[in-house]
Structure 1
């Protein structure tokens, strides 16, 4: 979930914790950062009174200073904070209850404790391996250096800890000695044992330095997407595990074997799934794996560059350039995957995403359990598209959780072409289904089942209202508007549920309502106005400014239009469904359309023909 949406979903006390951290870092940084000082002064220096949008902008501006502060504070918090950082920055753990994080911590601690004992036994056993450096010898060197880095402070009467500089040297040493991430953690556990308890206190300490938010009323922990990316950088993690999984799914069995052999791992009798899991758990740097490991040792630079070019095609990465060197191509792949989330959500509309997820659940009834296991999601509530979106799990991520064979089964059962990337074929098929509903948008608004069936759209009458809402979102998305599902989910309650939220800026929104009507004009103004006024109050109490309420319906009665125009409490715009479709058609027909959401803020019944003419 984005930082702006988390700020909207936590209370003022929790929000103030983060603002205080930001304020402290700003004050220190302003002394030598003129641009930052200028931005702060534009707020009259009152960061504590800034809006959510201003806070997010300040966070982006102060990010290098913020990252440095987090890195320093984490080193002071010790091994327990390092382990928790690894957990909360992993895929699917950015929103979780404290009890769930405790269970993940306990599982991880037990695993490290077990491996630490095995490592200790190995270190104490005489080596009969006469090779240049056996695994035992490599671990022994790393253990000795890590122990020295940790304990050398005590000789100078200082608290024992590993500094940033020492950590950097140890990371290079571990890479050169080919020490896996698991063995690094286990070895450090031998030198500086990770506490088994006290997780709540450690999370609170991490909250105090601005790493996370804790909503006390339900004990929910939130880690903003921007902070997850920051924590990955601090940990030296080039790619999230879900993106590394995509690369590994794309590699051949021979290439997976090359990676495992390069690091002394068994390959005989090991299933493909286990090979992939082993490589992910090893914590290899993506750069080294792509440049050195996937190709045979005798491959030259040109061969390796060609393999990366093919990988870019296999992953369907949309790059402006391919790069001319091995380093450039590697960097482009990593950067593209790291920045892919927003574009991948835009591949499918909200409707298309829900339909794809429902279809995959029919093919694989165990899909929900698989996703919960893969992304470590607690099973205390149903897993739906809204939850996945909040966790930044995209349609691509779901399809890559499935094996290549499973994806091909889905493709074949859907009757799709066997040429091309099967995952991309599946995604495009659900995008096409949404386009068909958009073409019949007016019939959907009028709940005209006969017209929908004539267009080969099979839909139950009970589902039309929800489908109309979802297709309306899809149209707004195609108009280039920011349909903010994260914000809608974070602020909606079981009682007050706005249909659509269009974000104009970090703080300004349009609240949208999509209403179907089977016969005649939509005329329920009193009921509708009570609904939208409740939504406006809720959003404004969360620090948002509601620029307009937009109601979309097949048509409106004269009394409805008059009441909306005369309402002095809120600003309401009305738009007929056929008019919205007309605007979309005009938008698509222009090479450089000029359209803004502010065209929906004029109030009263909007003249769609005039808007379409001036796009």
Structure 2
């Protein structure tokens, strides 16, 4: 769930710890201090009075500093923060009831103790399947960690690992090629492992700002933005679902090779081996740099192999960068951008229809998703619920075995030639709604993001498409979009985009502008254009109730110039604000949007949404 949505759900007391931490970071002059000050200058009551959207904006501006703060908290080696973070960053664990979290925590401690026993046994057993080189790596790391932990005892101090010692230990684990799971098992074979009271665990996580806890709902919330930061703290470069997507493209011998290297049971099925590889916490970069290749392969061959994996398997046309490291970094960025994007690749309606038909064809899927994503709800094949957990259509399809995908495709009349998953996504795309969900991306003329979200369009068509979508939204708001009257008033020189007929010779003129650069800033040009439209309408005895200018965003200078214009009753409306107004209108009591709410220079989204909800 997005941070803004969580903040809107909670009371001030439940947000207090998080706000205090952000306030503390702001007081230390962060890198983006000027941008933050700009947001805070609109209020004289401090951060607590800032709305959820702007708190989210501020958090994004201090994300690097927040990550450093969490790393400092992590320096306490026996804090168990690694165990807790590993639970809350798993796909599906961003919303949890307290009892569910308690169960996951208990299971984690129990599994950890069992794995430690197994590892110790493997290290002592001469006939174990661990290679001698692997045993040596484990013993070196364990010996160094033991020294770091116990050397204080000889100096009559409490046994602990200092932050300096920890940084050296982490460097050693990286050089030895140990996975996160390897490190965790060895750490807790030396450090005392304990099971704390669950309420103390939640309070500690809440006090350091990584979770929110609603007492009223007895529910823990972890924002999507926070999950990405915590993954970086744990050196996990991509979400498990993207790791799984990549592993599923590899041939079985390669999966077996990786499994053998990390002491994963060779008797497991291929899909179970993939899940165990993910749980190991292996570095995604290391996997693509070393582990998927045969010994002796050249760097050129590695790059070629990675390009083929991305182009043929992941449907990514080209990776940026010339070196292997740059290409891998480009792939990680690609996955991060997909995760950040609120769009789902197909329309929400299409997603709902897909889930309904999956449930009909594959009745066991609901239970399998509950187990895979550790979801508490009984029925989870619900689009809105899954999107709150940041689980998207492709993430669901990635979990379905090949034979079940083929069964589903045949039963639902989906195209069979080509890639199964891409054919399913195409079948449920619902282009009209998909365009509306990408309204802001069309306004920004963001062809790359549109393509990633399943939309193919020429750049030359984006301006007209933005106008068409704006017209569709105003129709949905109950306005009379009068194209006949518009054609009567338009001349060869003056051609307004959209005309809203309010009756009694009253109209609203709507002008649409797409932009590629940051901030729409051409007020002098657009004002001459709008004044011409105004003159045409006035000559024909129409009263102009409002002129609305719609663009993805406006520069400060543009807003200032607009505010000083005395000849037009003009308001500025961003594409994202219009989109959110449309969503709020769907659940409001109104049949037609009350246009009197369009009274600001820059239309205030929060004020209108609140008015519609009354």
Q: Same fold (TM over 0.5)?
A: yes
Aligned counterparts, 1:258-269, within 5 A: 258-263=257-262, 265=264, 267=266, 269=267
Name the structure 2 match of 1:411: 409
Aligned counterparts, 1:368-407, within 5 A: 368-380=366-378, 382-407=380-405
Name the structure 2 match of 1:211: 210
**Aligned-partner Cα distance in 2 for 1:333–1:575:** 51
SS in structure 1 at match of 2:428: helix
Name the structure 2 match of 1:68: 68
Shift of 1:370: 0.9
Name the structure 2 match of 1:423: 421
The 1:154–1:552 alpha-carbon spacing in structure 2 relative to 1, beyond 3 Å, is farther
Moved more, 216-225 or 292-301: 292-301
**Aligned-partner Cα distance in 1 for 2:177–2:438:** 48
Q: Deviations over 1:343-381 (max 9, x none)?
A: 583421110010111111122111111111111111356
Name the structure 2 match of 1:240: 239
Q: Deviations over 1:539-597 (max 9, x none)?
A: xxxxxxxxx99744999xxxxxxxxxxxxxxxxx9999xxxxxx9xx999xxx997566
- Establish whether residue 477 from structure 1 lines up as the match of residue 437 from structure 2: yes
- Establish whether residue 94 from structure 1 lines up as the match of residue 94 from structure 2: yes
The 1:126–1:393 alpha-carbon spacing in structure 2 relative to 1, beyond 3 Å, is closer
Shift of 1:107: 0.9
Shift of 1:262: 4.1
- Establish whether residue 19 from structure 1 lines up as the match of residue 19 from structure 2: yes
SS in structure 1 at match of 2:96: strand
Shift of 1:306: 1.3
The 1:329–1:9 alpha-carbon spacing in structure 2 relative to 1, beyond 3 Å, is same
Q: Deviations over 1:485-535 (max 9, x none)?
A: xxxxxxxxxxxxxxxxxxxxxxxxxxxxx99xxxxxxxxxxxxxxxxxxxx
Name the structure 1 match of 2:469: none
* Native 8 Å contact 2:285 2:328 kept in 1: yes
**Aligned-partner Cα distance in 1 for 2:313–2:175:** 29
SS in structure 2 at match of 1:76: coil
Name the structure 2 match of 1:336: 334
**Aligned-partner Cα distance in 1 for 2:75–2:337:** 28
**Aligned-partner Cα distance in 2 for 1:575–1:292:** 66
The 1:158–1:363 alpha-carbon spacing in structure 2 relative to 1, beyond 3 Å, is farther
Name the structure 1 match of 2:557: none
Name the structure 1 match of 2:324: 326
* Native 8 Å contact 2:347 2:437 kept in 1: yes
Name the structure 1 match of 2:249: 250
**Aligned-partner Cα distance in 2 for 1:131–1:380:** 41
- Establish whether residue 274 from structure 1 lines up as the match of residue 272 from structure 2: yes
**Aligned-partner Cα distance in 2 for 1:342–1:180:** 26
**Aligned-partner Cα distance in 1 for 2:216–2:596:** 42
Name the structure 1 match of 2:49: 49
Name the structure 1 match of 2:300: 302
Aligned counterparts, 1:103-142, within 5 A: 103-123=103-123, 125=124, 127=126, 133-142=132-141
The 1:98–1:290 alpha-carbon spacing in structure 2 relative to 1, beyond 3 Å, is same
Name the structure 1 match of 2:461: none
Moved more, 89-98 or 594-603: 594-603
Name the structure 2 match of 1:35: 34
**Aligned-partner Cα distance in 2 for 1:552–1:256:** 56
Name the structure 1 match of 2:467: none
The 1:286–1:479 alpha-carbon spacing in structure 2 relative to 1, beyond 3 Å, is closer
Q: Deviations over 1:66-124 (max 9, x none)?
A: 1111221233383433211110111100111111111011111111111222333445x
**Aligned-partner Cα distance in 2 for 1:381–1:429:** 24
Q: Deviations over 1:308-355 (max 9, x none)?
A: 111112343546644322112211112111221255834211100101
**Aligned-partner Cα distance in 1 for 2:412–2:282:** 37
**Aligned-partner Cα distance in 2 for 1:6–1:574:** 39
* Native 8 Å contact 2:210 2:222 kept in 1: yes
Instruction: State the TM-score, normalized to the length of structure 1.
Output: 0.69
**Aligned-partner Cα distance in 2 for 1:222–1:259:** 34
Moved more, 296-305 or 245-254: 296-305
* Native 8 Å contact 1:40 1:47 kept in 2: no
**Aligned-partner Cα distance in 2 for 1:366–1:276:** 21
Aligned mate of 1:311, from 303, 309, 312: 309
Shift of 1:17: 2.3
Name the structure 1 match of 2:148: 149
The 1:241–1:411 alpha-carbon spacing in structure 2 relative to 1, beyond 3 Å, is same
| Larger relative contact order, structure 1 or 2 (CA cutoff 8 Å, min sep 6) | 1
- Establish whether residue 190 from structure 1 lines up as the match of residue 150 from structure 2: no
Name the structure 1 match of 2:8: 8
Aligned counterparts, 1:161-176, within 5 A: 161-176=160-175
The 1:162–1:40 alpha-carbon spacing in structure 2 relative to 1, beyond 3 Å, is farther
SS in structure 2 at match of 1:401: coil
| Structure 1: runs of 5 or more not aligned | 439-470, 483-513, 516-547, 556-572, 577-582, 607-615
SS in structure 1 at match of 2:76: helix
SS in structure 1 at match of 2:132: coil
The 1:605–1:20 alpha-carbon spacing in structure 2 relative to 1, beyond 3 Å, is closer
* Native 8 Å contact 2:359 2:381 kept in 1: no
The 1:297–1:199 alpha-carbon spacing in structure 2 relative to 1, beyond 3 Å, is same
* Native 8 Å contact 2:351 2:393 kept in 1: yes
Shift of 1:305: 1.0
**Aligned-partner Cα distance in 2 for 1:288–1:273:** 21
Shift of 1:404: 3.1
Shift of 1:216: 0.6
Instruction: State the TM-score, normalized to the length of structure 2.
Output: 0.69
Name the structure 2 match of 1:610: none
* Native 8 Å contact 1:574 1:604 kept in 2: no
**Aligned-partner Cα distance in 2 for 1:420–1:179:** 39
**Aligned-partner Cα distance in 2 for 1:414–1:284:** 38
- Establish whether residue 353 from structure 1 lines up as the match of residue 356 from structure 2: no
**Aligned-partner Cα distance in 1 for 2:238–2:79:** 22
* Native 8 Å contact 1:91 1:242 kept in 2: yes
Shift of 1:163: 4.2
SS in structure 2 at match of 1:214: strand
* Native 8 Å contact 1:552 1:574 kept in 2: no
